[in-house]
Amino acid sequence: MVFGYSKTEILNIVNSLGCSFDEVVILPNLAGYRVFKDGGGHNFGDKFKFNAELTARAEEIKAHFYALEKSEGKQYPNFSLWVDQDNPEMLHLLRHFNGYNKHWSIVNSANWKESITETLLGRCAYSQG
């Protein structure tokens, strides 16, 4: 099947499968929406509440850590930042160092720098002091 890669064409394809959606919305990665839940299951897009303020601040936080890693001499900054699955006001930062990773939790608020707490991530990585 060949179709144009546009919002209109994607909407037409989806609705041809028996759906009746009115629009396609493309959100930034840091908006917090995920199709699949950790541990199984799905998140339905029509249940997701987009918060432009939280997303904009998350993008600013990402820019901060990108600039920090560049200032540390990394040609290609190497970190992960994502929105918590259960709390849209919580961000997770994973910085990758030679041989280990460190994970922090960040409350996405106006004073986010004061909220940064190093935390254990679990089975995917570990923190090293």
Bridge partner list, 91: 83, 106
Say whether pLDDT at 92 is over 70: yes
Residue range 14-22: average pLDDT?
93
Domain range list for the chain: 7-118
Are 7 and 24 a contacting pair, CB within 8 Å?
Answer: yes
Residue 99 Cα distances to 18, 20, 22, 88, 128, angstroms: 49, 49, 48, 30, 10
For 58-119, the DSSP string reads HHHHHHHHHHHHHHTT-SS--EEEEE-SS-TTEEEEEEEETTEEEEEEEE-STTGGGG-EE-
C-alpha–C-alpha distance, residues 115 and 104, integer Å? 10
Are 79 and 92 a contacting pair, CB within 8 Å?
Answer: no
pLDDT band at 122 (very low <50, low <70, confident <90, very high): low
pLDDT band at 129 (very low <50, low <70, confident <90, very high): very low
**pTM for this predicted structure:** 0.81
Tens-place pLDDT, residues 40-61: 999 888 889 999 999 999 999 9
Say whether pLDDT at 115 is over 70: yes
Q: Which residue pairs from 39-43 have beta carbons closer than 8 angstroms and sit at least 24 positions apart in sequence?
A: none
